[in-house]
Amino acid sequence: MSDTRRPFPCNRCMQCCKRVNLLLQTAGMDRGDGVCRHLDEVEGGCRIYASRPDICRIDRQYELIYQRTMTWEAFVDVNVAACKQLQTI
């Protein structure tokens, strides 16, 4: 990620990891109850964080798919809105 971009403001709520069943791209990580099989619910993190899939990397998703159609700022705003929505489910 470029140093000029603001970082994604993740608050580590883990709601995206607790609802992997909602997206086709992450459904394969569902342990059977909607929660990612790599989520460590005790420690509150990802057990494979260093080698997590591209779909779990905000900056990588932007570079691979979205940079041709929107700015980084717009992409962050869309993802922040989705994150807030997941927190209300």
Question: Tens digits of per-residue pLDDT, 68-85?
Answer: 999 999 999 999 999 999
Are the C-beta atoms of 69 and 78 separated by less than 8 Å? no
Domain boundaries, the chain: 17-86
Are the C-beta atoms of 54 and 61 separated by less than 8 Å? yes
Note the pLDDT of residue 4.
76
Note the pLDDT of residue 20.
96
Is residue 37's pLDDT more than 90? yes
Instruction: State the pTM of this model.
Output: 0.83
